[in-house]
Structure 1
Amino acid sequence: MLKTLAKSVFGSSNDRYVKSIGKIVDQVNALEDQITALSDEELQAQTEKFRAQLADGKTLADIMPEAFATVREASVRVLGMRHFDVQLIGGVVLHRGEIAEMRTGEGKTLVATLATYLNAIEGKGVHVVTVNDYLARRDADWMGQLYTWLGLTVGVIVPNLGEFERREAYAADITYGTNNEFGFDYLRDNMKHERGQMVQRPFNFAIVDEVDSILIDEARTPLIISGPTEDKTELYVQIDAIVKQIDPDFYDADEKTKNISWTEDGTEKVEQMLAEAGLLESDNLYDVVNTQVVHHLDQALKANIMFKRDTDYIIKDDKVVIIDEFTGRMMDGRRWSNGLHQAVEAKEGMKIEPENQTMASITFQNYFRMYPKLSGMTGTAATEAGEFWEIYKMNVVTIPTNVPVLRIDEEDQFFKNTEDKFRAIAKAIAEKAEIGQPTLVGTVSIEKSELLSKFLDDEGVKHSVLNARFHESEAHIVAQAGRLGAVTIATNMAGRGTDIQLGGNVEFRENDELAGMPEGPERDAALDKIKAEVKAERQKVLEAGGLFVLGTERHESRRIDNQLRGRSGRQGDPGLSRFYLCLEDDLLRIFGPDTLFSRMMNSNLEDGEAIGSKWLSKAIETAQKKVEARNYDVRKQVVEYDDVMNDQRKVIYEQRAEIMDSETVDEVVVDMRHDTVNSIVSTACPPGSYPEQWDIAGLKERTAEVLGISPPIDSWLEEDHVEPEMIEERLRTEVDAIMEQKMAASEPGIWRRVEKSILLERLDYHWKEHLATLDALRQVVFLRAYAQKQPINEYKQEAFGLFEHMLDSLRIDITSILLKSQLRMAPPPQEALPDLPDFLTGHVDPLSGLDDSDDNDGSAGREAMFGSFAGSPRAAAGPGGSNKANPYAEKDVSRNAPCPCGSGNKYKHCHGAAA
């Protein structure tokens, strides 16, 4: 009570903070007359003036009021839009690295120009992150007019952009793009072999549009670049056929977590069926030899039972395309991992693409935390304020609306079943359409969208359906959702970022209706006619009550519901929102208090009857909070596990950067060679042991295997006072002499390039294998909980040990290759077409959906991606380094098998090259 009283007197902490920013707004307003009096040339010269001030020691905070005043005046002259005072407040919040929560229609795109311009003056680069490619292009074109007029450069990152174009876009003062494009470019950059091939520059400042969607909703799954593994198509098909015969009594399904497990009877039944199909290698299903079959069996069961067509995915162009559960958008190119996507393809009878192995991975949390300054804007962030602060250290600031919100939010309507609910929804929409009030309907899946569409057809209501099937026309449909009598059905928040203007959108109508009409009096007249029609139609819509937002059920997150509601009542327009619920809705069915809801609704409601209750709405909100907390735990767990990998990722990527930037890696290679020698000797001759306890046979074997030499170890042991240090020193001397001979026999520059190339290639290979090991560890480490151990702590400990082991293997591998390899000059390139790789990969870019060719070990794909040293010497194994005399020609050696000479290269790249 005292807290409420104090809040009413002093205002909330958010109110006080916003009020404090008002002083800066007053400074901006005080400069308005001065800035307005400048000519165009003088206003454009402000940018160079600000840069000079920064060079003289001023800070961005010092020049902020005048810079904001400059942007506001430039916006009036270029775009015809003047920033409101509340938008200036939003600009300050963004510049300070915080989240500006602004209602829909308050002009967040224009707000971003303030902080973007101010921070771009430094020339270090500003990234503006959007939720889809359409918005990236639109905002870059739209707001780019303002930036270029003020003397700044603008770039945009979209799928299918070449390396040169990407590098140019990142070099611009301001770069627009999607979160996926930025993240994948970072991963791809850290797989390249030369600094000049990288497209990004050091991170500086990012503004994330729809920050809750990107940093919360999409943060549950990491970005992954992957390459192929062996083809298991037939196994997926066979196991899918078995799972389709399984009775529901044989498994237990948990819809909350989308987990599924076999019952005891189910285990016996499926074990029998697998044995009859000849898929088991032993009698017991859970023997180690059957691990792969069990994994595929579980994934097939999950695909058939838990993943629903037109809800979790759709079939498009004979491919399984994932549907984003939060936005309802197609995620072209994205694939579920661990064989789940292949299991769904088998379920639907589609062509099964090969499984993928992770080559590079990062979560959005760890990617965006690399920016020294990060800010964001959205209409709904307050419900996730705790998570934003804990994960990203970003404060959420609620910005007041420019004019009061007039939208009426009605109580939820509850029905007994889905049919009653949808019939009532169709009637309510028909009533609104009759009086001309536009309706925006939010659904949670494609299936529900199409079901409602049928009910509306029965009512004779003309309507548009917007979901993942019609992704291409998303912006056009949403932009006209405010027209007189319009009815638009949208999956969740499809069309997010596109403003719904009452009476229609002049710009979109102009683009659609006047696209082929040339400039001139006729086009001007047609445009004036459109503007007059929109103005008249807007007045009629206002009289009808504004936009009616109707939710067909509550989402798991209150934030998504608030986003839907926020589409109505923009800039002081009237509006109405109402949600229709029933006992069969997923949220109530899975998370609601079953018995209480069932008892109340079944006993008190007649068929077709509705009930509205604040108590029921409160109960729904409580269920939503539980789901939000569970989802937060999932995202937090993703971060905790990725933090472990992130520390290792930083070490590897920093090491790669140092190698690429170094003219020579001699010192690194020498250290690796000496460490390898020390490791071999210390393993065979442990410190503190006696000579008779040493493993001399093992020492000889490892010396020959790794170092490729056979030193007189027996004669060394005959000397007096033999110590492991003496053996280490002599072995180091021998291998150093070998390397000196190799370097003397070749040009220094060539050998340095070979060393760098091998070092980077093997580093990438071992890192890729390490990622696969960590993936496997993460999937099983939760079992340690049964031993009363914390899985995350066990994961940290195991991951550290695996990382050390990877570094040891890397040192040994590189030392062995360099000691055994010899240089040969590659022949000049032939005019004939190049040979194709043995097979094409399923290396799919998760956003663009493009495939890259790759070889089994990834080397062909790396050459395709990074370029090869064509026309220059390359490392080749074998005595003399020549393949002309092939001693293995008579033997039946597979082209992809390791060469019998022991080089470590494939036969086709070594002695079999001439075959």
Structure 2
Amino acid sequence: MLGFGTIAKKVFGTVNDRRIKATDPLIARINALEPEFAALSDDGLKAKTAEFKERVAKGESLDDLLPEAFANCREAARRALGLRAFDVQLVGGIFLHQGNIAEMKTGEGKTLVATFPAYLNALTGKNVHIVTVNDYLAKRDSSWMGKVYAQLGLTTGVVYPGQNEAEKREAYKADITYATNNELGFDYLRDNMKASLADMAQRGHYYAIVDEVDSILIDEARTPLIISGPSQDRSELYRTINEIIPEVLPEHYTLDEKTRNVTYTEEGNEFLEQRLHSAGLLPEEQSLYDPESTTLVHHINQGLRAHKLFTKDKDYIVRSDEIVLIDEFTGRMMAGRRLSDGLHQAIEAKEGVQIQPENVTLASVTFQNYFRLYEKLAGMTGTAATEAEEFGEIYRLGVVEIPTNRDIARVDEDDQIYRTAREKYDGIVKEIRAAHEKGQPVLVGTTSIERSEFLSGLLEKEGIPHKVLNARHHEQEAQIVADAGKPNAVTIATNMAGRGTDIQLGGNVELRVLEALEADPDADPEVIRSRIEAEHADDKRKVLEAGGLFVLGTERHESRRIDNQLRGRSGRQGDPGRSAFSLSLEDDLMRIFGSERLDKVLHTLGMQEGEAIQHPWVNKSLERAQAKVEGRNFDIRKQLLKLDDVLNDQRKVIFKQRREIMETNDVEEILQDMRHEVIDDLVDTYMPPKSYADQWDTVALKAEIEKKVGITVPIVEWAEEEGVDDHDIRERLYEKSDEFMAAKADAFGSENMRSIEKQILLQTMDAKWREHILTLEHLRSVVGFRAYAQRDPVNEYKTEAFQLFGSLIDGLRGEVSEKLAHIRPMTEEEQQAMLQQMVAQRQAQAAAATPVSNDADPAPTGAVEGFDETDQSTWGNPGRNDACPCGSGKKFKHCHGAL
């Protein structure tokens, strides 16, 4: 019997169905305009863009313009790319413009969909950012879709790591800018460390379309973006601790795989205390529980985490004497990314590679708070519905499932569950052989490099030809994925399978044509294309007859989305396909979430060796386990966000204040207010309100005023005058300090003084902010213990962070006033001496710089003509990896660019 809810859905449709249906009138209007826009010349399409911009400037809303703008963009895409957008792609574009997440299945053309809302919103003249998951896609999409925008008279830019500053500023000036989430976040932080507006790259945050939105806003949101600088070298401490950790026995610690947490037991603490005493790391009279041991305890904990929670070839790989992290969600290498709080150094010690110095945070932001800066946010993905609650709660984004252009014909089979991993892999190899022998392409999904290479070894023994796609071979990613749809192809991939490159049945024609032309550049491209298209048609027919692409998962991921992404590689654009997952009770997810009960059931059923159980009930229980993990991960991200929101409010205040300082040419008034507030604080301290004259400490006040404000005044004598109160003293101090600073401005010259004031204010603000971030990091790491005293850690953190921010502002006022009070014009001799000191410092740093083994310096050359070590304007504008203009043969970043 059907439930009421099911009957209601059948009669009225779901909320999603009704939202899709509501776009029908708009789609009809866009289609009705098609003949009119098809009749326009190329210049006519550009003229329409100019007309639309004018109408927006006069107050016409983007919603009113949508049908005409979409019709113009569809025509431009048809001419530039030969692609005419389907109606469902226009529907996706409408929901993106409205600030939603459009869930569109793989192969439905999300890249083209983004051009419609991007074009419409760029008509405002404000910046539109299209966010991708990696640099390859940012460059590919900007180059590919840039043809559509050029046809419409708009400019396109792309931002990528290592780009020089001038190029980056130009890219952000473009109407539409493609970039990765990391580069956008880092540029935001870098901009707020710049000393002048002209150096800033980004021009605000109006509208962003995030591709693979679940990967960026959910998976990567657990770790904040951090810009850091080196601190003291503690490599010996890490090595010593690393020698002790292998001696730790199982009873010395508890490991919780569900929460990925590991802690020492009481017994473990006693054992460590003895070992640390004997190693000389812990003084005999000191215990691990003493406050003085906090730093040492922290490093010991990180050493244990490195050994017990982080696995080589799963969480990281060792490459060129360096630890390179692997993204658990995509399987890609994250070159340049480091774990914070000494954990990366602990892993370096464990693997015996060179230990890089620890870093201190200079600036940080979470993806949640960065993307909430945008006035309007939208996203695209193939899998978002399972995380709809989080998108709604944190980003205020609705999720709309866009129907496919053609119905999905893929068959999704129930999971096959074996008792042991050995039986599972035997079954997987049999499945692969059966599909391979009938010509069906197989995509095998694994969860780690280790597993993908283990399975590769099994297939080699069986003589089954195959390709492996994981972080070790990611350079050939596009090529391997493009070939994965050919007859008989077997591709083993970590979770990165198919990112950005569709698996087309029969193979990818365009890539095969390019390969053939590279092999024989003199050949006629048309002849080659027609030959390859004929071969492709034959290959596609064979694959279709064999049942389309077979996706075989070797393990369930802790997130349903990742499994759905893998499944979605098969059955694109109405193609036939098949998907299945083979699991064992020894898999991580099964082992952690109650495989014991299932093992008893299988025993009772009397299952034979090599036999698998298949039932929808098992699938349901697995999905419940995955939902539990997703819920826990959501809670972790919510907690991170609650704490970062506190810092974010303060970050916004500081960054806004910084911008205002950079926008104004004269900060004299701001500094005068600061100086007067410093005087107020000092007078309140040494001449408390409502106190008697004999209670005033005027001698101490005089000394402090001289130190903080730089003026020597007869405060003791003033205080002895008849009828003088604290108010009079204040007024006199204001006046004298203003006169003192005015005289100083005359000595420097008004223009120089304004520039000095601005630089000192910005530099001090940055230094204070860095100290504040570090203090809050330490506070965050210990505030959790307040829960033992029945106090809410988040409220405690908010209260203390607020008090610390007040101290930051007070300290800023005092330090800036003191620095300005004691600066004086330098003599010519002093200027020369300082310049020579800077050059000597730079040379010492250049000599100390250690080049990385895979980043060797070029051979020595002669100095660039006109090069003057003391005059940077003669150095030209070398890139970080270019040869240094001094002719040393070192790279610029290892020589004069080391500063």
TM more than 0.5:
yes
More relative contact order, 1 or 2 (CA 8 Å, 6+ apart): 1
Of 391-400 and 111-120, the range deviating more from structure 2: 111-120
SS at match of 1:196: helix
C-alpha separation between the residues in 1 aligned to 2:272 and 2:132? Answer: 47
Find the partner of 2:172 among 165, 170, 173: 170
In the alignment, residue 632 of structure 1 is paired with which amino acid?
F
Partner of 1:571: 573
Shift of 1:833: 6.4
Find the partner of 2:513 among 510, 515, 523: 510
Partner of 2:345: 342
Partner of 1:381: 384
Question: Is contact 1:228–1:842 with CA below 8 Å preserved after alignment?
Answer: no
Shift of 1:107: 0.8
In the alignment, residue 745 of structure 1 is paired with which amino acid?
A
C-alpha separation between the residues in 1 aligned to 2:189 and 2:844? Answer: 26
C-alpha separation between the residues in 2 aligned to 1:380 and 1:191? Answer: 37
Question: Is contact 2:417–2:583 with CA below 8 Å preserved after alignment?
Answer: yes
C-alpha separation between the residues in 2 aligned to 1:285 and 1:431? Answer: 60
Which blocks of at least 5 consecutive residues in structure 1 are unaligned?
Answer: 852-866, 872-915
Shift of 1:821: 1.1
Question: Is contact 2:45–2:151 with CA below 8 Å preserved after alignment?
Answer: no
C-alpha separation between the residues in 2 aligned to 1:731 and 1:55? Answer: 52
Question: Is contact 2:53–2:124 with CA below 8 Å preserved after alignment?
Answer: yes
CA 1:842–1:42 in structure 2 vs 1: closer, same or farther (change >3 Å)?
farther
Partner of 2:892: none
Pair 1:598 & 2:604 matched: no
SS at match of 1:796: helix
Find the partner of 1:394 among 378, 394, 397: 397
CA 1:129–1:451 in structure 2 vs 1: closer, same or farther (change >3 Å)?
same
Question: Is contact 1:79–1:146 with CA below 8 Å preserved after alignment?
Answer: yes
C-alpha separation between the residues in 1 aligned to 2:139 and 2:193? Answer: 27
C-alpha separation between the residues in 2 aligned to 1:292 and 1:313? Answer: 25
SS at match of 2:247: coil
CA 1:741–1:599 in structure 2 vs 1: closer, same or farther (change >3 Å)?
same
In the alignment, residue 411 of structure 2 is paired with which amino acid?
I
Task: Output aligned runs, 1:269-288, within 5 Å.
Answer: 269-281=271-283, 282-288=285-291
SS at match of 1:822: coil
Partner of 1:433: 436
Question: Is contact 1:464–1:487 with CA below 8 Å preserved after alignment?
Answer: yes
C-alpha separation between the residues in 2 aligned to 1:843 and 1:364? Answer: 33
Question: Is contact 1:329–1:494 with CA below 8 Å preserved after alignment?
Answer: no
Pair 1:497 & 2:503 matched: no
Partner of 2:655: 653
C-alpha separation between the residues in 1 aligned to 2:471 and 2:721? Answer: 79
Question: Is contact 1:24–1:65 with CA below 8 Å preserved after alignment?
Answer: yes
SS at match of 1:447: helix
Partner of 2:470: 467
Question: Is contact 1:102–1:379 with CA below 8 Å preserved after alignment?
Answer: yes
Partner of 1:874: none
Task: Output aligned runs, 1:274-423, within 5 Å.
Answer: 274-281=276-283, 282-423=285-426
How many residue pairs match? The answer is 850
SS at match of 2:555: coil
Partner of 1:588: 590
Shift of 1:52: 2.8
1:133-187 CA deviation, whole Å, 9 max, x = no partner?
A: 1111111111111111221111111111100000100101111110011111111
Shift of 1:613: 1.7
C-alpha separation between the residues in 2 aligned to 1:332 and 1:596? Answer: 42
C-alpha separation between the residues in 1 aligned to 2:555 and 2:595? Answer: 17
Partner of 2:97: 95
CA 1:868–1:390 in structure 2 vs 1: closer, same or farther (change >3 Å)?
farther
Question: Is contact 1:320–1:345 with CA below 8 Å preserved after alignment?
Answer: yes
SS at match of 1:17: helix
Question: Is contact 1:353–1:842 with CA below 8 Å preserved after alignment?
Answer: no
Question: Is contact 2:711–2:740 with CA below 8 Å preserved after alignment?
Answer: no
C-alpha separation between the residues in 1 aligned to 2:98 and 2:475? Answer: 36
1:424-464 CA deviation, whole Å, 9 max, x = no partner?
A: 11111111111110111111111111111111112111111
Shift of 1:356: 0.9
Of 755-764 and 815-824, the range deviating more from structure 2: 815-824
Shift of 1:293: 0.9
C-alpha separation between the residues in 2 aligned to 1:241 and 1:464? Answer: 39
CA 1:744–1:50 in structure 2 vs 1: closer, same or farther (change >3 Å)?
same
Find the partner of 1:758 among 753, 757, 760: 760
C-alpha separation between the residues in 1 aligned to 2:687 and 2:7? Answer: 77
Of 204-213 and 50-59, the range deviating more from structure 2: 50-59
In the alignment, residue 104 of structure 2 is paired with which amino acid?
M
C-alpha separation between the residues in 1 aligned to 2:820 and 2:465? Answer: 72
Question: Is contact 1:546–1:575 with CA below 8 Å preserved after alignment?
Answer: yes
Find the partner of 1:540 among 542, 549, 552: 542
C-alpha separation between the residues in 1 aligned to 2:150 and 2:422? Answer: 55
Shift of 1:831: 14
SS at match of 1:408: strand
C-alpha separation between the residues in 2 aligned to 1:69 and 1:718? Answer: 84
1:812-837 CA deviation, whole Å, 9 max, x = no partner?
A: 00000000111226449789966427
Question: Is contact 2:747–2:825 with CA below 8 Å preserved after alignment?
Answer: no
C-alpha separation between the residues in 1 aligned to 2:783 and 2:351? Answer: 32
Shift of 1:709: 4.4
Partner of 2:560: 558
| Identity over aligned pairs, percent | 54
1:575-628 CA deviation, whole Å, 9 max, x = no partner?
A: 0000011111111122x1243123223454333221112211111111001000
C-alpha separation between the residues in 2 aligned to 1:72 and 1:464? Answer: 38
Partner of 1:71: 73
SS at match of 1:514: helix
In the alignment, residue 774 of structure 2 is paired with which amino acid?
A
C-alpha separation between the residues in 2 aligned to 1:672 and 1:802? Answer: 18
SS at match of 1:177: strand
Which blocks of at least 5 consecutive residues in structure 2 are unaligned?
Answer: 857-869, 875-899
Shift of 1:722: 4.8
C-alpha separation between the residues in 1 aligned to 2:396 and 2:155? Answer: 30
In the alignment, residue 137 of structure 1 is paired with which amino acid?
K
Partner of 1:186: 188
Shift of 1:698: 4.2
Question: Is contact 2:698–2:719 with CA below 8 Å preserved after alignment?
Answer: no
SS at match of 2:274: helix
Task: Output aligned runs, 1:767-846, within 5 Å.
Answer: 767-824=769-826, 826-827=831-832, 835-836=841-842, 839=845
C-alpha separation between the residues in 2 aligned to 1:841 and 1:223? Answer: 31
Task: Output aligned runs, 1:140-159, within 5 Å.
Answer: 140-159=142-161
1:780-803 CA deviation, whole Å, 9 max, x = no partner?
A: 111111111111111111100000
Pair 1:214 & 2:206 matched: no
Shift of 1:516: 5.4
Task: Output aligned runs, 1:509-528, within 5 Å.
Answer: 509-515=512-518, 517-518=520-521, 522-528=524-530
Task: Output aligned runs, 1:874-913, within 5 Å.
Answer: none
Shift of 1:225: 0.5
In the alignment, residue 719 of structure 1 is paired with which amino acid?
E
Partner of 2:865: none
SS at match of 1:777: helix
Shift of 1:124: 1.4
C-alpha separation between the residues in 1 aligned to 2:44 and 2:708? Answer: 70
Partner of 2:231: 229
Question: Is contact 1:225–1:843 with CA below 8 Å preserved after alignment?
Answer: no
In the alignment, residue 812 of structure 1 is paired with which amino acid?
G
In the alignment, residue 77 of structure 1 is paired with which amino acid?
R
C-alpha separation between the residues in 2 aligned to 1:679 and 1:842? Answer: 45
Pair 1:450 & 2:456 matched: no
Shift of 1:335: 0.6
Of 688-697 and 225-234, the range deviating more from structure 2: 688-697
Structural RMSD (CA): 2.3
Question: Is contact 1:226–1:843 with CA below 8 Å preserved after alignment?
Answer: no
In the alignment, residue 598 of structure 1 is paired with which amino acid?
D
1:167-220 CA deviation, whole Å, 9 max, x = no partner?
A: 100101111110011111111001000000001102211111111111111111
